[in-house]
A and B are shown apart, each in its own frame.
Chain A
Amino acid sequence: MTESLSTPVNSGDLPVLLDVKALDKTFAVPVLKNLSFQLRKGEIHALMGSNGAGKSTLCNIIAGIHQPTAGEMYFLGEKYTPNDVKAAEEAGIRMVMQELNLFPTLSIAENLCFKNLGNKFGIIDSKRLRERATKLLDLVGLDDVTPETPMEDLGVGKQQLIEIASVISEPIKLLIVDEPTAALTDPQIDLLFEQLRKLRDQGVGIIYISHRMDEIQRIADRVSVLRDGQLVATEDIKDIDVETIVNLMSGDLDSHSISIKPGIRPPKSCVLRVRTLSKVGAFEDINLDIYSGEVLGIGGLIGSGRTELLRTLFGADVADAGSLRFASDDFLFPRLMRSPEEGVANGIGLVVEDRKSQGLLLQKSLLRNISLSILPQLTNKFAVVDKQREHDIAVEIAQRLAIKFDNIRAPIASLSGGNQQKALIARWLLRDLPILLFDEPSRGVDARAKTRIHELIREQALKGKAVIVVSSETQELMTVSDRIIVLSNGRMAGEFDRASFSEEKLLEASFRFYNKSSPQHKTNDKEQQDVSPTH
């Protein structure tokens, strides 16, 4: 361990590097609201907040990827308005992305020197490349890999280190790192931290985004907490504890009210038992009972395995271990869904997270998109589609779900996100399956469509369907769900019934298994006891 290097800095004396003033950013909805934030020279400043709090948006604006809707930034006392990433880089501001931007088939050396590969004749100068790459690899402790290795032969962790190496090798003044340690081993993290501290001591200001509390306490000098696009606190790390940070992130509970009443529910009965379901790298040992007439919410941070769990229940991905047992055969036969076709045959439908790339036929009409899953019911014995019935059924459900369209035969790409989402839901409602899974059902839709989608989800439960909803918005989960389970780092971290819903508890559970920087999915017995349901 190299903790001794962490010389305490009296950061209060340091000059301001970046001054963000009253920043607003609106995409479909406001994401940043009047946000002000200061980064000093020579400090490591942790940025924390739950999903959608605005951390990434803020960093994207600082790095020049997005432009603010309103507000100003001052960098070293001068007005700073980067129009693109290049402008930010010229000012000395660099961001290391969570998702890597590398060329997998090129060598490490070529990746590291990509902007300056050749000599003046355009011939690759392999000697210079090799020297520079070796130097950079040493910097992040990768002296055991040769610069000629193709990038794709390295693990994600090493690739990430190389990305960081290439960024910090250039003269920079401000560095943003987003979840850099997710794929790193402990010694690699130590090395990374050593480099970050070195940069800090040279006067570089570092913004450090992470969900891992222990890391933040180890590396950060100050911490800022964002909530709903606003800065709620900036504190020295030694003056704040984990509990306070979680409280700040979750905010005031009374300010939100749960708008939809649970309603009179049909009798609940278990339709699906999920036992010890595991998928390597995504989630492990999931045990769940799914009930008809109930909306089960699944919470957790992005990347905690929620989407993968839904996809595995449906058959879009295949589990590595565990089983599903269905009420339809009295829970006698353990099964795993091996394809979506099998999922549907067993009564499961999934409204996917990424409607554009995985759900819709974008160039095709609203009509064709709605009818896709029910074509076999619309055909005569010669497999000829009854176009009149197809049209009538599509128009009927489009009206029922209040989908706005000019011409039902126009490409669905011309509709708004909310209407596209409702079309995707319509497709599954027409199938009338007993188990419906929704992954981020209201992402990128406006407030009105969102309310309508929530009503639809509740209606399905009242009709006796079993419904599961994954959402990154705690508020949405608490609105639509009868019961919520929380995944943390791929494991069940808590189960709450409606009476015990609280944003704070849900958030606390979602951070639970990120607190150790030990390898994923490993834990000791003491923590295991904490997993027991909280109600």
Chain B
Amino acid sequence: MPGLKKLHLPWNSLGLIGVLIALILFFSFMSDYFFSTVTFRTLVNQIPALTVISVGMTYVLLIGGIDLSVGSVMALSAAVVGVAIADFHLPVLIAIVCGLAVGFIFGVTSGFVSSHWKIPSFVVTLGMLEIARGGSYLVTQSETKYIGDPVAFIGDPVPVVGISAALIAAVSVVIVAQWLLSKTIFGRYMIAIGTNEEAVRLAGINPVSWKIVVFAIAGLLAGLGGVFQLGYLQSADPNAGIGLELSAIAAVVIGGTSLSGGRGSVVNSFFGVLIIAVMQTGLAQLGVSESSKRIITGLVIIAAVLFDQYREPLAARLSGKNKRIPTFDDN
């Protein structure tokens, strides 16, 4: 796989791509409308927010943490941007910077409180989830704020390229985040902290500051997700993103990132996002009810984790050898 190696895809990306292609073929076969530009456009509009939030979640899970606040933080950031434009008549770019700043501040706070005082990030971000949700109701006065044209450019297709600015930005985030993870010292430290934080500390590296950076990135990306969401809906909904943190965790876990930390890939999380999005769109086109869709999604998440857990013994059995396939950790 020399070509793949150049792209720096982790070896198990192949399986995810396979699943994705299988899903697309399945839905194309089952429905005449699936393989069309309409479907493509729906998909493309849906995924940017979930994609960038899943990137942040991948980082947080990599260091052995979790961030439950991302859905609410996304809603709050969108609300701040919306109010800044609609009520304070700020220039759009400045409003966006305010929104991103809100996400960043929430991330830094979660990271600082959980790392510095050694409180499980689960609890801290659960608190932040409530705070951000309350904040978004406060900012919007519990009403959906319509913005309209000023933010339409985020979701509209860019001329020539044909896809939205949000998707271009989201894919760029995936690429940069994967590059940071596999090429830089920051990525190394994330993996090391997730593997054995005490060993990292006793190697003379301060894990606390790196963990804060990771949560800050996750918060910033949740803010960015809010901006994308705003561009897509052209309005700020204080109820947006409820349960989105769980979709992001699902995507990341389908992508093979370990919930106990130390192992994961941003690109694979992106494939996880695509698998979830394709499945949901496809099932909707088949006329599957919302309730059945959720049941199927739940089964797929569990199946993905089971497969991930047992892929090595399984691969060994399939290849007819008893030898365990060694795992190398270069990515």
Name the B residues within 8 Å of A378 (CB-CB).
185
Residue A27 interfacial (CB < 8 Å) = no
A316–B205 CA distance with the chains assembled, in angstroms = 11
B203 and A427 within 8 A (CB): yes
Given the interface contacts A363-B329, A373-B203, A410-B326, does A384 sit within 8 Å of B183 by beta carbon?
yes
Residue A494 interfacial (CB < 8 Å) = no
Residue B291 interfacial (CB < 8 Å) = no
Residue A340 interfacial (CB < 8 Å) = yes
Residue of A nearest to B195 (CB): A361
Name the A residues within 8 Å of B326 (CB-CB).
407, 410-411
Name the B residues within 8 Å of A376 (CB-CB).
185
A343–B205 CA distance with the chains assembled, in angstroms = 10
A358–B202 CA distance with the chains assembled, in angstroms = 7
Q: Which residues of B169-185 are within 8 A (CB) of A?
A: 183-185
Q: Which of B184, B188, B206 has the most CB of A within 10 A?
A: B188
Residue A375 interfacial (CB < 8 Å) = yes
Could you say which of B186, B198, B328, B329 contacts A383, with CB atoms under 8 Å apart?
A: B186
A344–B326 CA distance with the chains assembled, in angstroms = 34
Partner-contacting stretch, out of A29-37, A364-372, A510-518:
A364-372
Partner-contacting stretch, out of A92-100, A188-196, A349-357:
A349-357
> Beta-carbon contacts of B303-331 to A below 8 Å, as 1s and 0s?
00000000000000000000000111110
A85–B205 CA distance with the chains assembled, in angstroms = 42
Residue of A nearest to B189 (CB): A375
B206 and A339 within 8 A (CB): yes
Could you say which of A341, A362, A383, A410 contacts B196, with CB atoms under 8 Å apart?
A: A362
Residue A248 interfacial (CB < 8 Å) = no
Which of under 10, 10 to 19, 20 to 34, or 35 or more describes the interface residues of A? 35 or more
Could you say which of B188, B195, B201 contacts A385, with CB atoms under 8 Å apart?
A: B188
Residue A121 interfacial (CB < 8 Å) = no
Name the B residues within 8 Å of A363 (CB-CB).
195, 262-263, 329
A345–B189 CA distance with the chains assembled, in angstroms = 18
Cβ of A38 to closest chain B Cβ, rounded Å? 45
Which of under 10, 10 to 19, 20 to 34, or 35 or more describes the interface residues of B? 20 to 34
Name the B residues within 8 Å of A128 (CB-CB).
none
A361 and B328 within 8 A (CB): no
How many residue pairs between the two chains, A and B, have CB atoms under 8 Å in the bound complex?
90
Given the interface contacts A363-B329, A365-B329, A409-B329, does A372 sit within 8 Å of B200 by beta carbon?
yes
Name the B residues within 8 Å of A431 (CB-CB).
204
Given the interface contacts A365-B329, A368-B329, A410-B326, does A360 sit within 8 Å of B199 by beta carbon?
yes
Residue A532 interfacial (CB < 8 Å) = no
Name the B residues within 8 Å of A339 (CB-CB).
201, 206
Residue A359 interfacial (CB < 8 Å) = yes
B188 and A368 within 8 A (CB): yes
Name the B residues within 8 Å of A427 (CB-CB).
203
Could you say which of A349, A350, A383 contacts B184, with CB atoms under 8 Å apart?
A: A383
Could you say which of B186, B199, B205 contacts A358, with CB atoms under 8 Å apart?
A: B199
Name the A residues within 8 Å of B201 (CB-CB).
316, 339-340
Name the A residues within 8 Å of B330 (CB-CB).
365, 409
Could you say which of A359, A365, A409 contacts B199, with CB atoms under 8 Å apart?
A: A359
Jot down 8 A-B pairs with beta carbons below 8 A, ordered by A. Answer: A341-B205, A361-B195, A361-B262, A364-B195, A364-B262, A368-B192, A373-B203, A376-B185
The residues of B with any CB-CB pair to A shorter than 8 Å are 183-186, 188-189, 191-192, 195-196, 198-206, 262-263, 326-330
Beyond the given A375-B185, A382-B184, A383-B186, please list 13 additional residue pairs across the A-B interface where CB-CB is below 8 A: A339-B206, A341-B204, A357-B196, A357-B199, A361-B195, A361-B196, A368-B191, A372-B188, A378-B185, A384-B183, A385-B185, A411-B327, A411-B329
4 nearest A-B residue pairs (beta carbon): A344-B204, A361-B195, A409-B328, A383-B184
